[in-house]
């Protein structure tokens, strides 16, 4: 089968690889229908994710059809249409029992990382009963691909950790796909203000279209002042960090109101300054989280009831044959205006 293979830093190729087989009785093999590329795949390609070694098939998102199931799989059978979660969860370990699937002792984010992933014609899914979801009748499959990772990430790490509430103010620092996913799901809770912050006017325009009540271009170095002015000098109740660099985390500290929350989504490569000399008495909460995908059932229901339109995030479509082009398009988002790209497998 065809598969996009990581060959080491800066190096990848579309290769011919054998179809994966069952390893454990709880595994399923899924014939992929649609997949996509994540910002994390670009991190891997930079060499920033040491758990992902050369030879790995990338990808942790997508939908497909069950092709084979292990003897202990009870929730699915061959032919079922399924959504693949980016996180594999046994459901039984100490962390799964407290709904922290991201730290499953035999799972977590392993797909396209420590085991082969979804940018291929077939993929092996461990802990299939807990890690796949039946596709609701009539659901749009492209929209569903957004539920593999980006929407639960925005919702769990940004919106739920950030305790977004009706009438509150939210700043979204970074309007790439993940920040926009946070924005779309923040609307579940009817905040009064959603302030979108980015360096790119194109992304700010998208944020506005998605429901931001105000936008701030941080390129002039005065984003904090702009946010304080928009909030009558109170700051925001929730600051969602969706970039992953020191400067954006710094901005979050400058704009969070007393009693507010900084919800970190960004994947950080270096330490940041935490200004406890200013924040120690400000009653703030700072959260980090790797998506647990515990919100996937909720997201499926909001999708089916049209509370959510994830297809807005899709800007480009490719065949698996052309996945290298898809990577180019996705990696150069400033020029291509790419948000999420769909790969038909």
- By CB under 8 A, which span of 220-228, 301-309, 311-319, 320-328 interacts with its own copies? 301-309
**Tokens coding 130:** 């807990």
Spatial separation of the C-alpha atoms in residues 120 and 34, rounded to whole Å = 10
The nearest distance, CB 240 to its own copies, in angstroms, is 14
The nearest distance, CB 301 to its own copies, in angstroms, is 3
Q: What residue has token string 């800066």?
A: 10
Instruction: Provide the residue count of the chain.
Output: 345
Closer residue to its own copies in complex, CB, 95/345:
95
Sketch the per residue contact string, 177 through 216, with its own copies: x for CB under 8 A, - otherwise. ----------xxxxxxx-------------------x---
Give Cα separations from 293 to 132, 137, 152, 158, 260 (angstroms): 11, 21, 6, 13, 24
Tell me how far apart the terminal alpha carbons of the chain are, to the nearest angstrom.
Answer: 10
Query: Per CB under 8 A, which of residues 246..285 are in contact with its own copies?
Result: 249, 258-259, 264, 266-277, 279-285
Q: Contact with its own copies (CB under 8 A): which of 98, 222, 229, 317?
A: 98
Give residue 28's Cα distance to chain centre.
23
- By CB under 8 A, which span of 86-94, 176-184, 215-223, 328-336 interacts with its own copies? 86-94
Cβ proximity of 261 and 163 under 8 Å: yes
Give residue 158's Cα distance to chain centre.
10
The nearest distance, CB 111 to its own copies, in angstroms, is 15
**CA-based max dimension of the chain:** 61
Per CB under 8 A, 88 contacts its own copies:
no
Query: Per CB under 8 A, which of residues 26..55 are in contact with its own copies?
Result: 26
- By CB under 8 A, which span of 58-66, 172-180, 290-298, 336-344 interacts with its own copies? 290-298
Q: With H, G, I as helix, E, B as strand and everything else as coil, classify residue 150.
A: helix
Sketch the per residue contact string, 142 through 181, with its own copies: x for CB under 8 A, - otherwise. -----------------------xxxx-------------
Spatial separation of the C-alpha atoms in residues 149 and 335, rounded to whole Å = 24
Closer residue to its own copies in complex, CB, 65/279:
279
B/e letters for 145-175, b = 16+ CB within 10 Å, e = fewer, are bbbbbbbbbbbbbbbbbbebeeebbbbbbbb
Spatial separation of the C-alpha atoms in residues 271 and 244, rounded to whole Å = 10
The nearest distance, CB 47 to its own copies, in angstroms, is 15
Q: Contact with its own copies (CB under 8 A): which of 39, 91, 134, 136?
A: 91
Closer residue to its own copies in complex, CB, 53/288:
288
The nearest distance, CB 35 to its own copies, in angstroms, is 22
Q: Contact with its own copies (CB under 8 A): which of 95, 113, 215, 329?
A: 95
Per CB under 8 A, 229 contacts its own copies:
no
Give residue 95's Cα distance to chain centre.
20
Spatial separation of the C-alpha atoms in residues 299 and 303, rounded to whole Å = 6
């Amino acid at each position: 089968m065809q598969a996009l293979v990581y060959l080491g830093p800066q190096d990848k190729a579309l290769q011919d690889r054998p179809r994966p087989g069952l390893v454990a009785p709880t595994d399923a093999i899924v014939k992929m229908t649609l997949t996509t590329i994540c910002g994390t795949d670009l991190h891997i390609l930079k060499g920033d994710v040491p758990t992902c070694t050369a030879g790995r098939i990338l990808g942790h998102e997508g939908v497909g059809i069950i092709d084979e199931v292990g003897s202990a799989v009870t929730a699915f059978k061959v032919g079922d249409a399924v959504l693949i979660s980016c996180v594999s969860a046994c459901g039984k370990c100490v962390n799964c029992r407290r709904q922290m699937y991201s730290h499953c002792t035999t799972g977590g984010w392993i797909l396209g990382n420590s085991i082969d992933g979804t940018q291929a014609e077939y993929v092996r899914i461990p802990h299939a009963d807990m890690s796949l979801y039946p596709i609701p009748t009539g659901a749009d499959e492209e929209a569903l691909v957004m539920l593999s990772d980006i929407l639960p990430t925005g919702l769990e790490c940004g919106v739920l950790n950030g305790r977004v509430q009706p009438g509150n103010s939210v700043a979204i620092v970074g309007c790439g796909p993940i920040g926009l996913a946070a924005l779309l799901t923040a609307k579940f809770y009817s905040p009064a203000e959603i302030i979108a912050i980015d360096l790119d006017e194109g992304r700010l325009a998208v944020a506005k279209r998605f429901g931001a009540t105000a936008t701030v271009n941080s390129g002039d170095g005065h984003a904090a002042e702009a946010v304080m002015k928009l909030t009558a000098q109170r700051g925001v109740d929730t600051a969602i960090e969706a970039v992953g660099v020191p400067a954006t985390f710094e901005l979050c500290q400058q704009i969070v109101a007393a009693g507010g929350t900084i919800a970190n989504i960004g994947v950080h490569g270096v330490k940041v300054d935490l200004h406890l000399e200013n924040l120690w008495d400000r009653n703030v909460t700072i959260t980090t989280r790797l998506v647990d995908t515990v919100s996937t059932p909720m997201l499926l229901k909001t999708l089916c009831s049209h509370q959510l339109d994830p297809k807005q995030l899709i800007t480009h479509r490719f065949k698996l044959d052309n996945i290298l082009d898809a990577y180019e398009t996705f990696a150069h988002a400033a020029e291509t205006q790419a948000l999420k790209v769909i790969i038909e497998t």
